[in-house]
Each structure stands twice: as structure tokens, then as C-alpha cells.
Structure 1
Amino acid sequence: MSERCFSTDDQQLLTDILRHRRDVRGNNFRPEPIPEPVLEQILQAATLAPSVGFSQPWEFVQVADPALRAQVAESFDAANREARERFSGERGELYARLKLEGIHEAPVNLAVFYRASEGPVLGQTAMAEAGEYSVVCAVQNMWLMARALNVGMGWVSILDPRRVAEILQAPADRKLVAYLCLGYVHRFDDRPELERLEWEQRRALATVCHTDGYR
């Protein structure tokens, strides 16, 4: 039984890491590689995430081949063109100026997959998506560990997950949850880019908390 307690300094350090985590884009990655021990620390952090029924349903594929990255980038370009058409006016102009991925620039590309269990999973029988939520928890662990190691990480969500799974020859029972770009950066911004550009404003805690339902 662990009796480890954390100090107020520990708590403040975690808060600082949470506050300074950033979604890093392709215009910010530096070219030098991430040392293998550092990348292993980030992946080990993923495996410490909570998972429904202790199923640990995550798998990771490092995408190093430039030809494979180019195919993933093509999927991004197609999805990005479609997404851009959904925004008009000032938002459309701002969207067109954003650099939303770092597939070619980032030293490390990681595809994170969900692998469904063959049999029933404790805690997942009524909420099947809890398995995929577990993989998202692993991604968050990676993001925080990466930031603690002064490594930037970006989540590329503007792509076709089925196409990426096909490019990487994933088995039929695997589902892409996240495509991540990692590398050292030129800078970590004081605020998230989309907040700084006023794409959205941060919501106050009081506006998202309710008691005994939505009343």
C-alpha cells in the first residue's frame, strides 16, 4: 500500500505543467531528434493512464518513413480543404492562415490506436466507448510528460482515421484515436494559440459546473 503524499510544491508543479501544456503546430518544431530515452519516458507515461477494466487498450505506431508521412499529410490536406469550406468571413480567413499540423516538420510522428478486447471488459459492458476514452487518457499523460520534458506535442485531428489506418496497415480491429507530432520547439507560447488569436475564449469554471443536473 503506497503512503506517498505530495507536497504543496509538488501540487504547484503539476498545476504549472497543466497550465503550460500546448498543442504545438508545424511552424514551431525544431529539427533535432528526440533522444530514445526521452521518447520512452513519454510512452511509459501513456501506459500509466487509467483504463476501463485495466484493459490497457492502447497501441502506438511510430511513423518514420517519409513516404508514409507524405500519405498521412495527403489525408490531412484533403480533410483540411473540406474543413476550411465550413468557415466563412473573418473565421475563414483566419483558418486559412493557421498552420494546423506538423507531419513533415516534427521529428516524431506517433499514431495511437484503440484495440478492442475480444471478450467483455469490466466497466465497459454498458458504455462501449469507455475503451476509447482510456486511450485518450493515455494521450493526455503523454502530453503532460512531454511538456515536463520540454518536448512539444500536437494532436492532428483533421484527417481521415480510416485512411491513416489503411496507410499503416492496421488490423481491422484497430481504431485510430490520435495522430501525434512530437519534437523540441522554438518556443512555448504563454497562451494557447487559438485563445491568443481570439478563435475562442476560455470558459470560466462557474459556467461549466452544475449541481443535481442542468437547472
Structure 2
Amino acid sequence: MATTANITSETHNCGHCGNTSYMIKKGVIDDTVSEGDHKHGYYESGDFYRVLKCPNCLKINILTYFWHDSMDAEEDVNETLVYPQHQAFPVGLPAKILEYLTSAEKVKSIDVHAYALLLGRILEFVCYDRGAKSDKLYLMLEELAVKGDIPEKLVKVASGVRNFRNIGAHVGSGDLSTAELPIVRALLDAILTYIYSAEHLAAQAELKLSKIKKRRKV
């Protein structure tokens, strides 16, 4: 059991489970070097790495910050999380989908079935967001294909997410492992990228071209 001396004095957000609490200090790695000379004095500069253990999921987080002896106080320290590193989200996503994805990432290391279930929920939201009216997910996906929102090939990709979602939702469907999670996420990302990112990037490109044309006229 951790003693009070081994608990951090400030709260941190766990990169694995998303829990915000005081962390258990496991160690500090000093990667600084001493520079200078006898005449002008010596100073230390370099990176520090703090190893913290989450009391909720019991997994390790690694934070790093740069330090130089000329820095005035700890307020100057800009600490960043280097482990775990999260998978980037596709660009141009609606705020609600981004919120759902962030929530899903928080439970990924806790419950693989809950993670698959949440990704399936995101797929359902995409269908509703694009105006699908059916009450079954596979029918909503077919609606999107008929409307031209997604090609037929992506319907099969989306069905893959749906199948994993069903396994996560029903005990009798089998069990998922962490090995399947990147597959589920990659399938969903393919759909999100096609529907939202391409549209977003096209709009950005049009805006840039419009600005260039205006500059030419001036």
C-alpha cells in the first residue's frame, strides 16, 4: 500500500482510464546535463520524467518536463504526458462524435466490450446525423449507401464495426480481446474519414483557393 509520502501533491488525469485523482509516485528519471565553466558558473538543464501510477486502474503514466536552472519557479514548468499516447482522431468531426470518441478511449483499457459497444454507438450516431430513418443499424447503413453518403464497400466496413458492437453487447456472442480493438477503431475511422474528414478538407481547400484568388485581384 502506498504511503502518504508516495502520493503526488496535485491531481492528474490518467491517460489510460481518464480518472482524475492524486497519483502514486513511482520514480523520477533525471536526464539533465551540467554545462558551463568555473569562471562563469555551472547550470543544469534537460528533461525530467515522472513515473506515476493511477490508483484507479493501477497503470503507469509517464510525464515529462524541461528544466533549466535559469527558470524562476515550478510555474514555468510545462509538463506533458508521453505515455500512454493516444491515437489521433480524424479531422473535421462534429463535436458530439468527438465527445463520444473521447469517452470511448477512456474505457478502452478498462473494458474491451464497453469500448466496442461505444464505437458501435458512434456508428449509430453517424447514421442519424446523416438522416437515416430506419430502426436497425444495418438498414441505416444501407440507407446511407443509397443516398450516396457512403459507397457500398464502406457498408461492409461499417458492418464490421456493427458485428464487433454486437459481440460487446451480448454475452452469448463471444468475447473480445485487446487484439481486436485496433481493428474496430480502424474500421470506424475509415467511415468517419470518408464522411467527415474528406468533406472538411475539401471545404478548407476551397477556402484557401478563394483567399488566393482574392489576393490576385488586389
- TM (norm. structure 1) is 0.20
Higher share in helix: 2
* Structure having greater relative contact order (Cα 8 Å, sep ≥ 6): 1
- TM (norm. structure 2) is 0.20
Larger radius of gyration: 2
